[in-house]
């Protein structure tokens, strides 16, 4: 892969920096990738080669490129950090670790930028709790006090290459987040990018691309920011190996821009407690990734219901007017299907506090669904006694038991159908 033709472009209402991605070892046409913002912030957007390199390395590996080359100086700290992240992903997920990162030989030194801290904010629970904790921990004149919030179009909104751009959903979310920004006295910076279109596979996004994509946007604003926070999604005891992780984003820093993964000491219930007395946040909280037309939250999906239950525990659901309902019923919870351990962990955390509040109707449903998921997971991963039998059958009997069982089940089904 080659990253070429780095350039700045301006239109009547947008400022843009862009580059051309040329694929060398896979059958893909060249792609133009970009970062944009409104003209108000255009002078702070920089054609930083760090941004384009960080965004492109992992899609290049995913598609089998043998090298990634950019004719620009790169900070040695970032160069080394990218190799560290590649090593982590190789250890965690088995990705190739042989790609060559080729840059211009001279060393990139940071520009003299006054200290300024920003954070990514989507209006979700993690990022709002991060902002709230920062406001409580740091005086406004402290270098680590958040001054800017970056809200990205092109990730959960508008991130799919073949999907609609969902501009209306972004505008609605931007308006809601603007109310939060005014109350928190931070500057809200809208960002538009298509870097996820380098590879928009959801599994790849979650496990190899999300953190580097965030870091790349931060580098595009290195003319304005020297320190950028990424909100954690997991608490320390249940940290999952993923593309956004306390071992990942810091390694995507440069000498002039520090990127930090913040909030791993808080559970989701802790985070609801942090924003529980923040009216602007409760009214504009957006956790739904379905982007329902005209709404911040659908109130039906797993993530909406999980958040609504957490708000209910804190007696804040009736104040969270961004959700279409002020209560959660057992029937609503019954419709939730766990597909992996990520949501199941969070739901299990809700059983005890819901019971303590007298909502055993909800706690019992959640407990039953969690137990059913654990049994399914044990079966799928062959950790129960049936798994032991299956492993024995495959190793010592060549699958004879399974074949006999399957034949018997098929015969019974045929007899039942013939009656």
Structural domain boundaries in the chain: 2-262, 299-376, 385-418
Q: Give me the pLDDT at residue 403, please.
A: 67
Per the listing, tokens 């046409």 go with: 29
Q: Identify the pLDDT of residue 36.
A: 97
DSSP SS3 for 180: helix
Q: What is the DSSP letter of 195?
A: G
Q: Which residues of 190-204 are buried (b: 16+ CB within 10 A; e: fewer)?
A: bbbbbbbbbbbeeeb
Do residues 138 and 251 lie in contact, with contact meaning Cβ atoms separated by under 8 Å? no
Q: In what order do the strands lie in the sheet with 258-262?
A: 100-104, 67-73, 2-10, 14-22, 31-38, 187-193, 146-153, 117-120, 227-231, 258-262
Q: How many angstroms separate the CA atoms of 304 and 133, rounded?
A: 22
Question: How confident is the model at residue 238, as a pLDDT?
Answer: 83
> Which residues are CB-neighbours of 270 under 8 A, at least 6 positions away?
129, 235
Picking from 133, 147, 154, the residue whose alpha carbon sits closest to that of residue 214 is 154
Q: What local confidence, expressed as pLDDT, does residue 346 receive? A: 87
If one counts every other C-beta atom within 10 angstroms of the C-beta of residue 101, the result is: 18
Run means of pLDDT, 10 residues per run, the chain, 419 residues: 96 95 96 97 96 98 97 95 97 95 79 89 97 97 97 88 71 96 98 96 95 98 97 90 96 96 96 96 94 92 94 96 95 85 83 95 92 72 53 60 64 57
Structure tokens at 68: 């990634």
- 189: which strand partners? 150
- pLDDT tens digit string along 299-318? 999 999 999 999 999 999 99
The predicted model scores a pTM of: 0.87
CA distance 262 to 246: 8
pLDDT recorded at residue 23: 98
Q: Containing H/E element for 8?
A: strand 2-10
């Amino acid at each position: 892969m080659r990253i070429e033709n780095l350039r700045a472009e301006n239109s009547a209402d947008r400022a843009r920096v862009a580059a051309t991605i040329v694929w060398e070892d896979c059958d893909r046409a060249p792609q133009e990738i970009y970062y944009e913002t409104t003209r108000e912030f255009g002078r702070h957007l920089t054609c930083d080669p760090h941004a384009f390199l960080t965004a492109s390395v992992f899609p290049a590996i995913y598609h089998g490129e043998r090298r990634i080359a950019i004719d620009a100086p790169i900070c040695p700290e970032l160069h080394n950090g990218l190799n560290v992240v590649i090593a982590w992903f190789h250890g965690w997920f088995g990705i190739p670790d042989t790609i060559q990162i080729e840059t211009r030989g001279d060393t990139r030194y940071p520009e003299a930028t006054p200290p300024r801290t920003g954070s990514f904010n989507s209006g979700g629970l993690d990022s709002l709790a991060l902002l709230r904790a920062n406001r409580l921990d740091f005086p406004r004149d402290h270098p680590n006090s958040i001054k800017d919030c970056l809200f990205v179009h092109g990730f959960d909104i508008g991130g799919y290459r073949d999907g609609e751009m969902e501009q209306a959903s972004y505008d609605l979310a931007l308006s809601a987040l603007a109310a939060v920004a005014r109350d928190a006295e931070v500057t809200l910076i809208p960002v538009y990018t298509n870097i996820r279109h380098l590879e928009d596979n959801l599994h790849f996004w979650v496990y190899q691309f999300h953190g580097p994509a965030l870091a790349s946007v931060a580098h595009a604003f290195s003319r304005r920011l020297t320190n950028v926070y990424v909100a954690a999604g997991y608490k320390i005891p249940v940290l999952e190996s993923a593309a956004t992780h306390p071992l990942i984003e810091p390694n995507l820093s440069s000498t002039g821009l520090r990127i930090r993964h913040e909030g791993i000491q808080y559970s989701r219930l802790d985070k609801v407690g942090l924003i529980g007395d923040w009216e602007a946040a409760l009214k504009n909280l957006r956790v739904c990734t379905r982007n329902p037309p005209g709404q911040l939250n659908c109130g039906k999906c797993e993530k909406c219901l999980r958040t609504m239950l957490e708000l209910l525990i804190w007696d804040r659901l009736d104040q969270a007017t961004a959700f279409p309902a002020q209560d959660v019923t057992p029937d609503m919870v019954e419709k939730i299907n766990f597909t992996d351990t990520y949501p199941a962990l969070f739901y299990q955390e809700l059983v005890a506090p819901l019971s303590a509040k007298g909502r055993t109707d909800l706690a019992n449903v959640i407990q039953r669904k969690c137990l059913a998921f654990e049994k399914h997971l044990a079966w799928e991963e062959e950790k129960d006694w049936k798994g032991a039998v299956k492993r024995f059958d495959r190793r010592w009997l060549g699958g004879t038991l399974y074949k006999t069982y399957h034949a018997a089940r098929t015969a019974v089904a045929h007899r039942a159908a013939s009656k």
